[in-house]
Structure 1
């Protein structure tokens, strides 16, 4: 295992484009940290700097107690699993898993033992003598993971490893990767654009946007206490409702309605109010009018998509809750409200 520390790390390309703004954070021994954000936010660049595949423009990167800014990737004691499996098609699963060890001059008996252990751990024992073309996508991804596991590295790096899999297989592999990391106790950094992967797999999440870290926290902290409107809208399925409101005298008024909702902040003026769809209650006596335009059936629950004062709004209700297209009334749980500065997007 290894602690990973970034101190004032920044990445600027020769053309002047700043891919990652100056940032500092520490990943603890044995921690599973997920870097999440939209395409182009800098998450893969950050991972590649940790791997040594991208030069660091400024700052210090440590793996364990060693500064690795100028250390070659092969000497950083890391193992990386990519989106593309990068398996040798002419080699068997057994040879693919052990290939890296063979290149390092490891004894054949030790390679065989490690490959057998990894195959057992990843349920690949019966496939060891097959070629990659004879395997499913999930099995190929397991082979790629097995190749990383036998290295016994200090740090696992995952770069969107499940993007090529179908939805059902992604769900299964999420569980398998997290269980494997728990079993081995190896520090892991995982890159994804999928917020569901981030929420379900991470000990801590680092949310990036346009090269800047928006928030670092546990999945619960990120979901329930987003630091900005970007985090609120990006993390969560469905995302948090964000609507314009007016605030004054310790209360917030949803624009166009009489209903007043008490809030703790002594702040006045226009704000962005946020609330999760599951924290909205259909209430015949509710103070807010909600127009339902679309009903979305999801089995265990329903999503009601519509608008409040022409602002998009979504409500989540249970599968047995009667809901119809048209006007209805809702109440908001006051303790679930989030308030954000309208200009900066930062939470008040």
Structure 2
């Protein structure tokens, strides 16, 4: 079993900085979990605590049935893939992949068999006798993954492994990594600041902000039902529109006084209203959308402008002919999310 359990795990550095506030969650056997958030949110620190590279200030961490707070990294049965590949430049691909096994005194014929199997899996057979300098960035990352695979670990840890690659190669590699993880069935924790990577690769996502877990859920849950304005604005490209509004007895109003939906039960007063750009309808409705810029993206268009003096973006398909100007717009009630104006929590 390679289930991972974090129970009130916390990290405080010697200068008093609390990098990770107490957090608790479980990663199921075989699950691909992504930690996502902006730089400095604590995601890499959390991963390093799981790896044993950072001591845990308080709380407990279990891998399988064993509490590993005081277990050395080498004894945790994990394999880690780093951002910078960490390959030995003087060694061939074959030796780089098998080096960790050699250090563990695995017999030579077993090392050769494992390296060959990993090379076939990663399309590296033709490159086994080359040095890292002779490889592309994507091929080097495959070598780093091969080194992790041959160890046959209970847990894979990925620390922003694609951030050094160009956009096209990142797209290709994230598909390969996810397909490989499903094939191997190894529990995996993946750290990224890229919300597209998180959405496309994860079974579940943990969204972190300032060392605090904002939300845990599937990609669909995170996207369609964000728990806070931070999640709403961080997840999505473009992000959810967030606007100041007011709930009164006769409805939800934007700044121009237009009611966009009936008043929800149980709340009256100022709110932050959210709606995804693709959920709006142009050409009908009581609100007015002042379009100032049309962004052509091939299969669709993004319309940028304002509603009631507030910045707004709408998503339309390529066959919807829109030019800068003012249009009626419908903000469907079922698509709206309401958040507390001060705490940002979803109402």
TM-score range, shorter chain: over 0.9
Q: Could you tell me which residue of structure 1 aligns to residue 127 of structure 2? A: 127
Query: Does the CA-based 8 Å contact 1:249-1:267 persist in structure 2?
Result: no
Distance of 1:276 and 1:75 partners within structure 2: 46
**Deviations for 1:130-160, whole angstroms, at most 9, x for unmatched residues?**
1111100000000000000000000000000
Correspondence list, 1:222-233, <5 A: 222-233=222-233
Q: Could you tell me which residue of structure 2 aligns to residue 308 of structure 1? A: 307
Structure 2: which 5+ runs fail to align? none
Q: Could you tell me which residue of structure 1 aligns to residue 109 of structure 2? A: 109
Query: Does the CA-based 8 Å contact 2:241-2:313 persist in structure 1?
Result: yes
**Deviations for 1:155-200, whole angstroms, at most 9, x for unmatched residues?**
0000000000000000000000000000000000000000000000
Q: Does residue 160 of the first structure (1) align with residue 160 of the second (2)?
A: yes
Query: Does the CA-based 8 Å contact 1:122-1:146 persist in structure 2?
Result: yes
* Structure 1 residues 147 and 250, CA gap change in structure 2 (3 angstroms): farther
Distance of 1:224 and 1:335 partners within structure 2: 11
Out of 292-301 and 241-250, give the one that drifted further.
241-250
Displacement after TM superposition at 1:250 (Å): 7.1
* Structure 1 residues 256 and 90, CA gap change in structure 2 (3 angstroms): same
Q: What is the total number of aligned residue pairs between the two structures?
A: 347
SS of the equivalent of 1:286 reads strand
Displacement after TM superposition at 1:239 (Å): 0.2
Query: Does the CA-based 8 Å contact 1:250-1:265 persist in structure 2?
Result: no
**Deviations for 1:20-48, whole angstroms, at most 9, x for unmatched residues?**
00111100000000000000000000000
Distance of 2:37 and 2:263 partners within structure 1: 30
Displacement after TM superposition at 1:326 (Å): 1.9
Distance of 1:315 and 1:346 partners within structure 2: 24
Displacement after TM superposition at 1:288 (Å): 0.6
Q: Could you tell me which residue of structure 2 aligns to residue 245 of structure 1? A: 245
**Deviations for 1:48-97, whole angstroms, at most 9, x for unmatched residues?**
00000000000000000001000010110000000001111111000000
Q: Could you tell me which residue of structure 2 aligns to residue 341 of structure 1? A: 340
Distance of 2:74 and 2:124 partners within structure 1: 26
Query: Does the CA-based 8 Å contact 1:41-1:208 persist in structure 2?
Result: yes
* Structure 1 residues 258 and 309, CA gap change in structure 2 (3 angstroms): closer
TM-score, normalised to structure 1, is: 0.98
Query: Does the CA-based 8 Å contact 1:263-1:334 persist in structure 2?
Result: no
TM-score, normalised to structure 2, is: 0.99
Q: Does residue 236 of the first structure (1) align with residue 226 of the second (2)?
A: no
Distance of 2:296 and 2:263 partners within structure 1: 33
Displacement after TM superposition at 1:254 (Å): 1.6
Distance of 1:105 and 1:189 partners within structure 2: 28
SS of the equivalent of 1:199 reads helix
Structure 1: which 5+ runs fail to align? none
SS of the equivalent of 1:88 reads coil
Displacement after TM superposition at 1:257 (Å): 2.9
Distance of 2:260 and 2:188 partners within structure 1: 46
Distance of 2:149 and 2:294 partners within structure 1: 46
Distance of 2:300 and 2:331 partners within structure 1: 18
Q: Could you tell me which residue of structure 2 aligns to residue 136 of structure 1? A: 136
Correspondence list, 1:1-348, <5 A: 1-249=1-249, 251-262=251-262, 264-283=264-283, 285-348=284-347
Q: Which runs of 4+ in 1 moved over 3 A?
A: none
Distance of 1:223 and 1:250 partners within structure 2: 29
Query: Does the CA-based 8 Å contact 1:294-1:306 persist in structure 2?
Result: yes
